[in-house]
Amino acid sequence: MEPNRSDGCEKSVVEAWFATWDGIRAAHPILPSLLANFDETMIQPQRNSTVKVVAFNNGTTPVVIAEPELPHITLGVTIFADGTHTDHLLIYPSKFVPQELRGDNAAIYGEY
C-alpha cells in the first residue's frame, strides 16, 4: 500500500484532486466547521520498549507508555477547515484502560 500512497502524493494528482474539489465546493458550499481532515498513525513498538507520544506544541501532556508487551496503538487527530480540532483519539485494543491512564493519571489525559 505504501507505493500507492507515494504515487498519490505526486503534484499532478494533488492538483487534480483540488481542481475536482473546487468544482464540488462551488456547486455545494460547505461550512469550514463541517469540513475535516482526519489522520491516523499506528504504533507497534517492540517488546520491552518505551513509547512517548507528544501532544500539540501548546499541550503539556505527552503520553509515555512502558509495558513489556504493548499492543498495537492507533492515534487519531481531526482538524477542521476553520482551524478548530476535536480531542485526540487514542485506541488501545484491550479490555482495560492501560495503567498509565488509570487513577490520578486519568485527568491528565483529558485531551485524548
Distance CA 94, CA 109 (A): 18
Per the rule left: phi > 0, alpha: psi between -120 and 50, beta: everything else, 83 is: left
Q: What's this model's pTM, rounded to 2 decimal places?
A: 0.52
79-103 per-position pLDDT tens digit? 998 999 998 888 877 777 777 777 7
Q: Where are the domains of the chain?
A: 1-30, 32-109
Q: What percent of the chain has pLDDT over 90?
A: 5
pLDDT of residue 61: 63
Backbone angles phi, psi at 49, to 5 degrees: -110, 170
Q: Name the stretches of the chain with pLDDT < 50.
A: none
> What is the structure's pLDDT at 79?
92
Q: How high is the pLDDT of residue 69?
A: 60
Rounded to whole angstroms, the Cα distance separating 73 from 65 reads 11
Grid cell digits, residue 110: 483529558
